[in-house]
Amino acid sequence: MHKKIYKITASVLTVSLCCALAGCSKEEAKSETVSSSANGVEPEATAEPAVTPEPSKELTLTKLDVKEPNNIAVNGYLELPTVDGPYWQIVEDRLNSKNLEVYHKDGEEDWTTAIFSGHTVYDYVMDDGSLQKCIISGYEVFDLNNASDEIEYPNDTTQLRKEKTCERIYIYNSQDEYDAAVKNREDGQAILNGEEAAPERCVILNGSIVPNLQYEVGDDGKIRISMRDLSYAYSSKTIFSEENHILYVPMVYQNTAKFPTKDTPQSVLDDLNISEMVNPDNGTFTYTSTISMDLWNDTFELPQDDTYMMPIEDISRILGWEFWTGDNVLKIVSDELDDTNPDNFVIDTTVREETCYDVGTWEEIACD
């Protein structure tokens, strides 16, 4: 049995981009010439008429009217409630209790550091008296590996946010990924502003078009979309278990929504304590909200396979996302703070060098 241990060796790069979307194109002005008279005198050219560019055609979108109860009012980073008030205030109190100090290298007062995301690095005193480096994501304290500055996320689905503004940060691992994200944002904004025609049944999530994803309209009139594809577009930290047929969709803080299918094994349903929620015979599952102060549950359409085609109203009620439809467009907003502003796009170019050891002898071995 082998265990991989990683050493972080390279630096990181922050990229910020301010995008300005171009307006409508203008037609070239057409000049007219007047025929010469019989005596051959060259006529004077007439003045070219001013050309007024065609105005942008704004989309006509209708907000989805969602049945209650739902999680729309409680799903946001600054909206998640508790009995003691908004959760972010509780997190802020924890933050203040740590008495963070801006990190200075080797005690040099004029030297501070920031990681690839632009976050300022702080430190605080641990119970054993040692110093722990950290950053502030939204109002949460995320520890860093003291040696490599790698972020130690609270769990596998946690998202990174700007300090105190709480805007979501979108992380890409290459320039190509970054450029594609910027292009998707530009295309999404051009469509929403009426500057470009919308592709057939296109999906725009948090301001960016989602390439190759389309919604469907069923015979029952319901609009459905692949929850799996939509979730991956929403967050690369989406987890799907092909073996167990369970989709884990990230929510704010460390919350996760779990979606089964009709093929989810009974043993898995039992382990997740949701066996009584799934009824494959009538094609439904029961969801119980865990983020709302007023606990509620309802029956929803059970996905029939791993594409997770689901009615958008079901998705809206469970995740709290808002939907608009019209003019060949499905517009989705998960949280206003999740807007895909390219100022919040960063590239993580950390290079990880693998060093592998035999677990039995702890001798260094080849990483096959």
Which tens digit of pLDDT belongs to each residue from 26-69? 333 333 333 333 344 444 444 555 554 454 577 899 999 999 99
Phi, psi of 171, deg, nearest 5? -105, 130
Q: What amino acid is encoded at 333 in this protein? A: V
Predicted pLDDT of residue 367? 73
Q: Is 362 left (phi over 0), alpha (psi -120 to 50) or beta?
A: left
Asked, for residue 356, whether it belongs to a domain, the answer is: no
With residue 278 as reference, give the H or E element that holds it. strand 278-279
Asked, for residue 357, whether it belongs to a domain, the answer is: no
* Longest CA span, the chain: 107
Nearest 5 degrees, angle CA 83-CA 88-CA 93?
A: 90
For the chain, how many residues are written?
368
Asked, for residue 317, whether it belongs to a domain, the answer is: yes
**Structure-block tokens of residue 9:** 């060796």
Whether the CB-CB separation of 228 and 213 falls below 8 Å is answered with: no
Whether the CB-CB separation of 78 and 166 falls below 8 Å is answered with: yes
With residue 186 as reference, give the H or E element that holds it. helix 175-192
**Distance, CA of 261 to CA of 300 (rounded, Å):** 12
Asked, for residue 94, whether it belongs to a domain, the answer is: no
Asked, for residue 178, whether it belongs to a domain, the answer is: no
- pLDDT greater than 90 at residue 75: yes
Least confident of 13-17, 236-240, 300-304: 13-17
- CA distances from residue 283 to 120, 192, 300 in whole angstroms, order as listed: 49, 36, 9
Instruction: Out of 25-29, 101-105, 169-173, 264-268, give the one with best mean pLDDT.
Output: 169-173
Predicted pLDDT of residue 98? 95
Whether the CB-CB separation of 250 and 256 falls below 8 Å is answered with: yes
- pLDDT greater than 60 at residue 168: yes
Q: pTM higher than 0.85, yes or no?
A: no
For residue 62, give the 3-state DSSP assignment: strand
Query: Which range of residues forms the domain containing residue 251?
Result: 62-80+197-339
For the chain, how many structural domains are there in total? Answer: 1
> Which DSSP string corresponds to 206-244?
TTEEEEEEE-EE-TTS-EEEEHHHHHHHH-TT-EEETTT
Nearest in space to 69 (alpha carbons), one of 248, 288, 285: 288
Predicted pLDDT of residue 368? 65
Predicted pLDDT of residue 215? 98
Asked, for residue 332, whether it belongs to a domain, the answer is: yes
For residue 276, give the 3-state DSSP assignment: helix
Whether the CB-CB separation of 341 and 166 falls below 8 Å is answered with: no
Asked, for residue 202, whether it belongs to a domain, the answer is: yes
- CA distances from residue 136 to 122, 250, 255, 279, 361 in whole angstroms, order as listed: 8, 19, 19, 43, 39
Asked, for residue 297, whether it belongs to a domain, the answer is: yes
Q: Return all residues near 259 (Cβ < 8 A) that are at least 6 apart.
A: 227, 246, 247, 248, 249, 303, 308, 310
Residues 326-347 have pLDDT tens digits of 999 999 999 999 999 999 999 9
Predicted pLDDT of residue 359? 58
User: What is the percent of the chain with per-residue pLDDT over 90, rounded to a whole number?
Assistant: 68
